[in-house]
Structures are given as structure tokens and as C-alpha cells.
Amino acid sequence: MAEDAEMGDGAAMLFHRKQSIYRSLDERYEIHGERYRGQQYSQIYFVRLHHMRNLLRSLVPKWKPNMPVNTVLGLEEGKECILVGTLYKHMKLKPSILDEYSKERSALPLAKPHNFIHHDDHLILEDESGRVKLSGSVLAPAAFVTVALHGKETSDGDFCVQDVLEAGLPPQIELPIGPGEDKYVVFVSGLSVGSSEFNPLQFQLLVDHITGHLGDENEQSIASEIVRLLIAGNSVQISQGLVNGQNIAPKDHSRITEPLKELDIMLTQLVAAMPVDILPGSNDPANFSLPQQPLHRCLFSGASAYNTFVSSTNPHQFELDNVQFLGTSGQNIDDLNKYSDAKDKLEFMERTLRWRHLAPTAPNTLGRCYPYTDKDPFLLESCPHVYFVGNQDKYETRLLEGPEKQLVRLICIPRFSETGVAVMLNLRNLECHALTFSTNLEC
Amino acid sequence: MASKDIKGFYRQTKKKGGGGAPDPAQTPALIAHGSLDLVDDYGEEEERLRQFDMDMRYGPCIGLGRLQRWERATAMGLNPPPDVARILQRPSAALECLWDGRV
């Protein structure tokens, strides 16, 4: 790999960058084999329910032994039983396409609320036979999650919930006992090249630091231990007014291509030094629906010439020295924020792991999703060791411990253009710290 | 001339009791056939396939070919009936679900 020559006091120290064995596991998020035949989203919900139902049914005997499992249509009043199905939250404030046809349109506020929570919202459970309204003080989590509920039907026809069983963290392959040396992965997201917040000097500082062109020997030796860089989405920002389908004047062409060219120049510096994975985000020139397909190589004429350049899907799953990584550019967690409250984004991340589903609100409100007919690629079958989410407001991290000794490092990667913060993870012990870059002379 | 033709036409109809009926004495409508009046354009096999389409155990049928849906059901361990797969192998079987092109 590239060598980082020392710049400074004359003693010729050559640091060799460490390497890690990388394996991409993105096949499940790639769409090229699929053919669209007019199917609707009912197919993906059916597959989701089927998988989760089988899983939950197998967990029920251990949770509540001797309790019968019923279907919604088979409910009997007053009789305690267990239901397994998908939760649906009936939300008054959730925008509906039918509002466009409503005659009282002027009465509704035109601005869509950011958060759909209303005190009148109620939960419904739907299984293969029907739906039932839920009541009870044991509040179940957000919508579209498949859970098992223990309770009984009341005289109102509601199902009063006494207890809730989620699928729980999936099984995890044990963390490999490393060679004992430190190897780092750097995460960054929200570069937003081309936006008004973008600070080229700040980005250049980041590039120079991790490629080893800055700092003294100590800094450079740490930089040589960085084995991979991961860019989690929203690397460019192209002004919305230019991409609304109208013809663009030739003088405006450059406003679209400039951010991409600038990003390519910086990326080329990075890929010349180390392997780089780049994920598409909500602002990037990739498809809108999840899973987002990799950014096309033709966008990066400079960087794509290097074999260290990897354009990946969003979500992105890979393995580095047998450590399992999984992450997104943030859309899945941001969407959950609209449905329920949590004290921080890490809590949402933890919930998606416990529900074993990366994006439960897809395809409902989360940027649509490809209408698969025979699989749901967001179902989590195994637990990653590192779970990252990009484009968040601030850097947050936690080490999550599961009931079966699973260990997951949760990372919220903040938007670099706003915060100047990147994240560094040590593969040896899953410890994490922030790298802050500032060009502000007053700090 | 035209009116003469029309009158002639009506006279024919009155005598025969049905335009172009093969047997002037017995009109088809008066003969009890012993089966439903409405004869659909599909047979028993298609009926069986439609039952398979409508069976909710195997999920929604729209947007999926019948054989593909049967294979999906097998892959998910739902044990779909083997006779459906047999019928689908025959050249006369429609490979798309009953809503195809209609929804």
C-alpha cells in the first residue's frame, strides 16, 4: 500500500500503511437481477411478516410457556392468548395521498408536520387474518414492527396488551480475537461538497491528516494505522433548483458538475493512500428508494481508476478482518424519528437491532423501497459488530451488550460540513473517538 | 326500396322466431341444457389455478407469475399443493394470475 514518507526533521522514517482483509456483503442490496412486473408493496410486507412470524413463534414457548398462540380472527373475549403480527400506528398527522382529493383541503395545514405524533394515535396489530386495535398501558414500540403480544380481548373489541415480545438482537458471530495491534477505520459523512456549508480547507485538512501528510512522527504513525475510510452519504449537494427536470442553460451545467469534480479530486487523493468506501445518501445522485444502488463510477473519473475505490450500496454491509460492519447514510433512523420519541438517535439504532429490521418504515414513509416479491433485504439475520449511521446532528456512540453476549458498537456519524467531526474506530477493541477539524482561528 | 328490405327482414324474423336459428321449431333458449347459462371462457384447471391465486396463505398474487409464486411458497416452507405445479407445466395453463392486465 502507499507509503507515508515523513516530512519534517530530516530523519527518513517510512511508515507503511497497515492493511485489512475486506469482503463486501452487499449482494442482498443490489437490484440488478430484479424485474418489475407491476407488483405492489403487499409482497414485501407478506415476506416480512412470514419471516418474523416464524421467528417469533419459535421464541414464544420460552417467553410464556403454555400460552396459546392465536390469530386475530380467532380471538375470544376475555381469554388470554398471544398474537403475532405487525404493528401499525394510526396517525392523524401522517400525510396521506388522499388529502389531495379531499374537498376540505383548505382546512388542512399546507406544511407537513415534521413529527407525526398526536395524542390520538393508536396502535393496531395486523396478522395474516385481520386487524385489531390495541389498548393497555404497556406501550408497544413504533409502527411496522413485527412483535408478539400477550393479552386478551376486551368487551370493546380491543386487545388489551399485557406484555410485548420483540425478536431481540440477532445472533452474532463472535468477535475475532485480533492480532493485538491497533488498526483504525475512519468514518465521515455529510461532506456536502457544493453546498454553502462546505469548507474546502476543512476537508483538505481531513484528507491530509489521514493520508499522513500532516503532523509529526506520532501523528503519522497513527495515520498509517488507518486501514480504511468510509464516507457515509451526502458527499455532494447540488442545488435543488437545477435538478427539477427543466432544461438547464449551458452556463449552469458547471454548477452541477463542479461539486462532483471537486469531490473526485479529493477522493483521488484519498484512494491513492488507502481503500475508501463511498455510500450514496439522500442528496447524492443515486436512486431515491432504498436500497440505494452504488454511485456510478463514471461520476468519479479520477478516483475510479484506483482499485482502492469502492462504491457501495446504502445500506452497506461488509467484513473487515472478520469484524462485521453494517450501516446506512441515515435515512432509516431519521425516518423513525417521525414516528416516535427516543432520548437519542442511538436508541433508535438499538431498536432497529432489537426488531431485527434495518428500516421498518420502508416502504411506508421512508423513501419508498424497491417492491421485492420474494425477500426483504432489510431483515437482519445476524448481528453486526459495528453499526453506523451517517448524517446525524452530532457524534454519539455506545457499546451495546445483548442478552446472548452480543457486542455492538453503535456510531452516529455527524455531518462533516457542519461539525468538522470524523470518527475513528479501533478494530482491535471497538473503541471509538472523534477527530475534529477546524479552520476557525478563534478556537 | 330500403323499407321493402326491412319489412322483408321482419317477416322473416316473425316466421322463424329467431334470426338464423338452426331449428325453426325449437329455439335454444327454450331447451333446458342442464348446466349454467353463463359459460365462462375457462375450464376446471383454470378454476383450480384461480383458487391458488386467491389463497391468502401464499401471499398476494398481483405482480408475480403463478409459477414464481408457487416456487416462492415452496422456498418459504408453506407446502403449496403439488397439483397446481403440475397444471402449470401444461401448455394450456395461463402463467399469469387472474388480475394480470386487469388491475
What is A334-365 written as a DSSP string?
Answer: HHHHHH---SSHHHHHHHHHHTTBS-TTTTTT
The mean-pLDDT minimum among A154-158, A265-269, B26-30, B60-64 falls in B26-30
To the nearest whole number, what is the mean pLDDT of chain B?
74
* Largest CA-CA distance found in chain B, in angstroms, rounded: 75
Q: Which amino acid is at A57?
A: R
Interface of B with A in 41-60 (CB under 8 A): 56-57, 59-60
Q: pLDDT at position B42, please?
A: 72
Cα end-to-end span (Å), chain B = 50
Q: Identify the CATH assignment for A64-97+113-165 out of 3.90.700.10, 2.60.120.10, 2.40.50.430, 3.10.620.30.
A: 2.40.50.430
Q: Which chain A residues are Cβ-neighbours of B57 within 8 angstroms? A: 128
Question: A353: which strand partners?
Answer: none
A91 to A166, A252, A411, B8: CA distances (angstroms): 22, 42, 30, 72
Segments in chain A below pLDDT 70 = 1-13, 92-121, 137-143, 178-179, 243, 366-368, 442-443
Does A80 or B100 have the greater pLDDT score? A80
Q: State whether residue B51 is helix, strand or coil.
A: helix
Q: Is A306 exposed, middle or buried (0-12, 13-18, 19+ CB in 10 A)?
A: middle
Residue A215 CA neighbour count, 13 Å, CB half? 17
Q: What is the dihedral of CA A353, A358, A363, A369, to 10 degrees?
A: -170
pLDDT given at position B24: 56
Percent of chain B with pLDDT over 90: 3
Which residues in chain B (8-47) have CB-CB distances under 8 A to chain A? none
Q: Do B59 and A50 touch (CB under 8 A)?
A: yes
CA dist A168 and A358 (Å) reads: 13
CB atoms within 10 A of CB A244: 7
**In this structure, is residue B68 part of a structural domain?**
yes
Single-letter amino acid, residue A151: G
Give pTM, 2 decimals: 0.82
Examine residue A315 and say whether the peptide bond preceding it is cis (omega within 30 degrees of 0): yes
Q: Report the C-alpha gap between A291 and A22 in whole angstroms.
A: 21
CA A196 to chain centre: 25
pLDDT of residue A188: 96
CB contact under 8 Å between A43 and B63, yes or no, is: yes
How high is the pLDDT of residue A366?
66
Question: Apex CA A171: angle with CA A176 and CA A82, to 5°?
Answer: 170
Cα distance between residue A132 and residue A88, in whole Å: 10
Decide if A373 and B57 are in contact by the 8 Å CB cutoff: no
- Spell out the residues 6+ positions from residue A394 whose beta carbon is closer than 8 angstroms to its own: A412, A414, A419, A421
Which B residues, 67 through 96, put their C-beta within 8 Å of a C-beta on chain A? 68, 72, 75-76
Q: Report whether A417 contacts A191 (CB < 8 A).
A: yes
Is residue B72 in some structural domain?
A: yes
Measured distance CA(A167)–CA(A178) in Å, rounded = 30
Residues 6+ apart with CB under 8 A from B2: none
Task: Give the mutation candidate from A34, A46, A372 for the B interface (greatest B CB count, under 10 A).
Answer: A46
The reply to whether residue A373 touches residue B64, judged by beta carbons under 8 angstroms, is yes
Tabulate helix, strand, coil % of chain A (nearest 5): 25, 25, 50
Instruction: Judge: A46–B60 Cβ closer than 8 Å, yes or no.
Output: yes
What ipTM is given for this predicted complex? 0.73
Instruction: Tell me which of A384 and B28 has the higher pLDDT.
Output: A384
Cβ-nearest to A39 among B62, B75, B76: B62
**Which distant-in-sequence residues (6+ apart) come within 8 Å of A196 by Cβ?**
none
The fold for domain A22-35+172-436 equals Purple Acid Phosphatase; chain A, domain 2 (3.60.21)
Domain count, chain B: 1
Residues in chain A: 443
The segment(s) of chain A belonging to CATH 2.40.50.430 are 64-97+113-165
Can you give the residue range of the structural domain that contains B62? 44-88
Q: What is the pLDDT of residue A278?
A: 95
CATH 3.60.21.50 placement within chain A: 22-35+172-436
**What is the C-alpha separation between A99 and A81, in angstroms, rounded?**
38
Cell matching residue A345: 438517535
